[in-house]
Amino acid sequence: MKFEHVVCPLCGCLCDDLELIVERNEVISTKNACALSRSMFLNLNADLAKPLIEGKETGIEACVDKAIGIISKADYPLVYGLASTESNAQRKAVELAELLGGAIDSTSSICHGPTVLGVQMMGEVTCTLGTIMNQADLVVFWGSNPVDAHPRHLTRYSLTPRGLFTPRGRKGRRMIVVDVRETKSSKLADRFIQLKPGTDFEALSSLRALIKGEKIDIDPELKELAEEMKSCEFGALLFGQGLTMSNGKNMNVNAALALVRDLNQHTKFAILPMRGHYNVTGADMVFTWQTGYPFAIDFSLGYPRYGPGEFSVVDLLSRKEVDVALIIASDPVSSLPAQASSYLSEIDTIVIDPNRSMTSEIARVVIPTARAGISAEGTAYRMDGVPIRLKKVLKSPYPSDYEVLCKIVNGVIDGRSKDS
């Protein structure tokens, strides 16, 4: 069976032009997919999770009941993950955290959390990816390596496509890469500026001073970059974790946001974060419309409070403040610093995930689910905020993340009404 216009639930590009051939509930070939995407689609049945309690296989109902029992007794539970699931599951997860008086956080806090803090400080002059395609004659990738991390970004959105006012495609566009090391992306660039590690902030501040017309003594390459940025017709600065997770973090983002904002006194310029997980943007969106805040939220007082550095996953775990962790569609054991992730094996950790992971290995309860975008429909938000409907292409024996979360929410409510 052939599926067309399939949306790829892998990275923040959320390409929606894939074709899949499915036979006997397996993807046997893909068209238009990048290497990462193809590898994902062709290996969907590897490492599937099974319903487990204390490492022993059991029925999914038993796992859900166990999870309800554990989480209902918690003094301060954490709900975490949610970047690789659809928005209905994210909505339900917020409801659960609120119901439990716990904390909720998404993987934003370990990738583009600093971006959010930057935006809250400075604002954000941005655009959708199609605006870059249609208008940009200059694209600057800063601390980001799209060739490896977002393989089709350059060909679908930012470098080679011909848009409404960019009929020459690649030929009409300058590509600049600013990074601390050579990458596959820097090799494609018309100009590569290599920074000393940990000096992004100084470079961005210097550029801002130059754009303002101040005279400062810096690398001539940066002076040329400032001129290029000022004189383009429509520029875009696309930044990745090389900026958000290096020395200076949210301050680096502040400087980049301010630079782009200031450039708009001379030309049109936009800035976009190159967000990783396919629906981490959706987690920000859903959390924000339901609570006002995009990540690192606490409900222990019955209302939402915002606390990056306080209610964010690394901090709650490192300080050992939570007593139960519910991990949804994420693998913190492999992605968090050891001092944080090791605590997950000390407390009751529940995992809701279609796949086995390092986190499911240490969890007390594992609830397997139908993978969003593969075996469950729903909404995902592209890195630029464009919402796209995910497709269901394979059948799964398990319920979706959303369905499991509904059961848990209902179970917690039922348990309470029995108690009272």
Q: Is the dihedral of CA 161, 167, 172, 174 positive or negative?
A: negative
CA distance 361 to 169: 47
Alpha-carbon distances of 97 from 17, 368, 404, rounded to whole Å: 35, 20, 14
Residue 369 structure tokens: 């689910």
> What residue type is 346 in one-letter code?
E
Shortest distance, position 194 Cβ to other proteins, whole Å: 18
CA distance 76 to 272: 35
Shortest distance, position 256 Cβ to other proteins, whole Å: 12
Shortest distance, position 332 Cβ to other proteins, whole Å: 18
Residue 341 structure tokens: 């992730």
Q: Is the CB of 50 or the CB of 230 nearer to other proteins?
A: 230
Look-up of token digits 């796949």? 355
The total of other beta-carbon atoms located within 10 Å of residue 163's CB is: 17
| Residue 169 DSSP class | G
Shortest distance, position 48 Cβ to other proteins, whole Å: 27
Q: Is the CB of 75 or the CB of 227 nearer to other proteins?
A: 75
CA 149 to chain centre: 12
Q: Is the CB of 186 or the CB of 312 nearer to other proteins?
A: 312
Q: Is the CB of 248 or the CB of 354 nearer to other proteins?
A: 248
Residue 72 structure tokens: 């209902």
Shortest CA distance to 143 belongs to which of 186, 188, 107? 186
Shortest distance, position 138 Cβ to other proteins, whole Å: 14
Shortest distance, position 254 Cβ to other proteins, whole Å: 7
Residue 224 structure tokens: 């040329």
CA distance 131 to 157: 9
Shortest distance, position 356 Cβ to other proteins, whole Å: 30
Shortest distance, position 259 Cβ to other proteins, whole Å: 9
Q: Is the CB of 287 or the CB of 366 nearer to other proteins?
A: 287
Q: Is the CB of 362 or the CB of 386 nearer to other proteins?
A: 386
CA distance 93 to 378: 15
Q: Is the CB of 52 or the CB of 409 nearer to other proteins?
A: 409
Q: Is the CB of 245 or the CB of 251 nearer to other proteins?
A: 251
Torsion of CA 60, 61, 64, 70, to 10 degrees: -120
CA distance 9 to 16: 9
CA distance 74 to 346: 14
Name the helix (H) or strand (E) containing 100.
helix 87-100
Q: Is the CB of 49 or the CB of 100 nearer to other proteins?
A: 100
Shortest distance, position 359 Cβ to other proteins, whole Å: 21
Q: Is the CB of 182 or the CB of 233 nearer to other proteins?
A: 233
Residue 155 structure tokens: 């060909």
Shortest distance, position 352 Cβ to other proteins, whole Å: 20
